[in-house]
Structure 1
Amino acid sequence: MAFTVERIRAEVADLLGEDPAGIPLDEDLADWGLDSVRLMSLAERWRAEGADVAFVRLAERPEVGAWAALLGATA
């Protein structure tokens, strides 16, 4: 499955119990309650789908927009 900004936003929102439309592209997701355990689960899920992304890279900039760039997501 291809990565899109909306897909990343939706997966993050699901983990946080938020509305995807309310998840900003450029805010630190830790401020929204994304902890290391949830972040690790995202990294593992995405690697299982073939993404070349490590937990550390996601943790460096925990923002939807930054992750979209790392994953080569389309709009």
Structure 2
Amino acid sequence: MSTLSLESMRADIARMLHESPADILDDDNLMDLGLDSMRLMKLAAHWREAGARLEFADLAANATLAHWWTIVMRSQAGAA
């Protein structure tokens, strides 16, 4: 299992949006930046493969990196 970090998630999002990771702020609404549901599903699948327990609906409900990282951290704490 690969290690998922806040910065690796930021890099994945930036790659998906063809942006620099520095341009993706923790509280940016990622849908406003151009992330659509298909790309979000791809990201969620990729992160699940890395060991995160998260669902598309949880990510779509609040489309910020800060919120998504909270979900990942909660899932990692539950797995410990």
TM norm structure 1:
0.90
Aligned length: 73
Q: Which residue of 2 aligns with 1:28?
A: 29
Q: Quote the Cα distance in structure 1 between the aligned partners of 2:46 and 2:5.
A: 15
Structure 1: which 5+ runs fail to align? none
Where in structure 1 do 4 or more consecutive aligned residues deviate above 4 Å? Answer: none
Q: Which residue of 1 aligns with 2:5?
A: 4
Q: Quote the Cα distance in structure 2 between the aligned partners of 1:54 and 1:65.
A: 16
Aligned pairs (5 A) from 1:1-75: 1-72=2-73
C-alpha RMSD of the superposition: 1.3
Structure 2: which 5+ runs fail to align? 75-80
TM norm structure 2:
0.85
Q: Helix, strand or coil: the match of 2:58?
A: helix
| CA drift at 1:49 | 2.1
Q: Helix, strand or coil: the match of 1:24?
A: coil
In structure 2, give the amino acid aligned to 1:51.
A
Higher relative contact order (CA closer than 8 Å, sequence separation 6+) = 1
Higher gyration radius (CA): 2
Q: Quote the Cα distance in structure 2 between the aligned partners of 1:68 and 1:38.
A: 17
2:28–2:64 CA contact under 8 A, matched in 1: yes
